[in-house]
Chains A and B, each alone.
Chain A
Amino acid sequence: MSLTVIKAGIQSSIQAAPFRGLRKLAVPSGGAADVLSLALANRLVGKPLEAAAVEVTLGPAEFRAERAMAVAVTGAPCQVAINGEDAEQHETLHLAAGDTISIGRVWAGCRTYLAISVDIAVAPVLGSQSTLIAAGFGGLDGRALADGDVIALEDGDAPPDKITTPAELQPFFGHGFVLRIVGGPESDRLALGMAALSRKRWRVSSRSSRMGLKLQGTAIDLNSAAPIRSGAVFPGIIQCPPDGMPYLIGCEGQTTGGYPRIGQVIRADRHLIGQLAPNATMLLVPVQGEQAEQIHAEKLGLWAEWLPGLALG
């Protein structure tokens, strides 16, 4: 029993929970780049919020069910079709053996999630079924999916009944993003203070992946070029390399770095990094740590009833 990858597209991979507590071994967090969209997809097929699903980058991609199952597609808006017939995102979809589901190129955002009502049968590594593509382990042979791959599935119960994500809980993705940030360990080097980050619009360059995103805009001036001793970086850290163009660390980014860390996307907004595609623009809005904590609590509160136990990191 399986799901066949007909067309993997630019990059599709099996993603589930992040690798937790392993950063001291230099193992990145990884997992779904947009944890909220993963949770919403799994909810629709009756699975735990962090169950393994297929993360599709930009699309298009296509899969064939080799058994009856329910699936759901969430994340970046795109055209979904079953055997060529239009289908909805944010809705439980029933597939019979032999049915194909296609995920079109995204209209905005970056990543879609295909959740499956039966469990994906890949062995967990270091406690997660997620794929660390750069490190080469986890998921299916530690790599992105390729055309013709067969994703083995466990036996499962009868597919769940159809449900739909309540409209007010479906995230909206456009081409512009607002990410809230706190200062980084070396923000005192910003010649113009946090305004250097907040008073400009930043554009995501094509040099972007799950590991990190190079931003384009007005080069940032630092008032010190003294070297930094390598230390921790986390997803959402904004580094300032010598060219002055910020580099935003993604979910699969390295665990330590030696460039000045001039900002940090707050935990509550980090799932949005997974939806930043090349050419997307963003505003970085500074907040205080206590405000960030409150925003995190409010965001969890908004989804608490629909997604109990949601973790944004």
Chain B
Amino acid sequence: MYTVSILWYLAWPVLITVATVIIYHAVKKFDSDYKKISES
């Protein structure tokens, strides 16, 4: 029972980290694609 609770709480910092990395790379890719389109 406690293990499930602990895992649930631990999921938060892990998910925040993963999501930040995903968003960072998604925006970076969007920026570089946008740059390429506007240059061409």
A and B physically associate: no
Report A's interface with B, CB cutoff 8 A: none
Report B's interface with A, CB cutoff 8 A: none
